[in-house]
Amino acid sequence: MSDTSRDEDDDGEFDLGISLEAVATVVDHIRAIQDDEPDAEDDDDGDGDEDDSDADFDEDTLSAFIEEMNEDEQAALVALAWIGRGDYEAEEWEEALRLAKERGAAGGDTAGYLLGMDMAGDLLAEGLAAFGASIEEIER
């Protein structure tokens, strides 16, 4: 049996209580949503909806994905963002996770909370980096 609070996976990475793939998916969604907001300059040809992958990255899809997560996974997302923002160090993971649960960001509107953070995708990626995981190397 594994101890989820201090468990390491087969790559030697710290077990955050949420899969790296789930975090990467959230990062991809948040980056697509936040990148899409101010700069509409990146229109390729103006051909229309040929890029279906971007159509999948909207706030409703992200909210639904996060709502399907349990409270611990949602709290892990918030705690990762806080670590990425510099509010906590990786060594303070348990404290950040506990506070995320207590504040209700997890279990409430976690997607809305994260989208309200500037550069939330980058903050989550930085949070993962604090544990030695690179968002670019995570399979999706």
Q: Could you state, in order of their start, the residue ranges of all structural domains in the chain?
A: 24-37+52-132
On the question of pLDDT at 39 being above 80, the answer is: no
Percent of the chain with pLDDT over 90: 63
For residues 120 and 34, the answer to whether their CB atoms sit within 8 Å is yes
More confident residue, 73 or 5: 73
Strand, helix or coil for residue 8: strand
Q: How confident is the model at residue 36 (pLDDT cuts 50, 70, 90)?
A: confident
Are the C-beta atoms of residues 79 and 130 closer than 8 Å to each other?
A: no
Cα dist from 133 to 48, 73, 125, whole Å: 36, 17, 8
What count of other Cβ atoms lies within 10 Å of the Cβ of residue 44? 7
- What tokens were used for 78? 């918030």
Mean pLDDT of 21-37: 92
Position 15 scores a pLDDT of 82
DSSP 8-state class, residue 101: H
Q: Who wins on pLDDT, 57 or 5?
A: 57
Residue range 47-99, pLDDT digits in tens = 444 444 455 678 999 999 999 999 999 999 999 999 999 999 999 999 999 99
**By percentage, how much of the chain surpasses pLDDT 70?**
74
Find, among 63, 66, 14, 13, the residue nearest to 5 by Cα. 14
Distances (CA, A) of 137 to 86, 95, 118, 140: 22, 27, 23, 9
Please tell me the predicted confidence (pLDDT) of residue 45.
44
Q: How many C-beta neighbours within 10 Å does residue 24 have? A: 20
* Number of Cβ within a 10 Å radius of residue 68: 10
Burial class for 14, CB neighbours closer than 10 Å (0-12, 13-18, 19+): middle
pLDDT at 38 over 90: no
Region 126-139: mean pLDDT is 95
pLDDT at residue 123 in the model: 98
In sequence order, which residues have a C-beta less than 8 Å from that of residue 102 and are 6 or more positions away? none
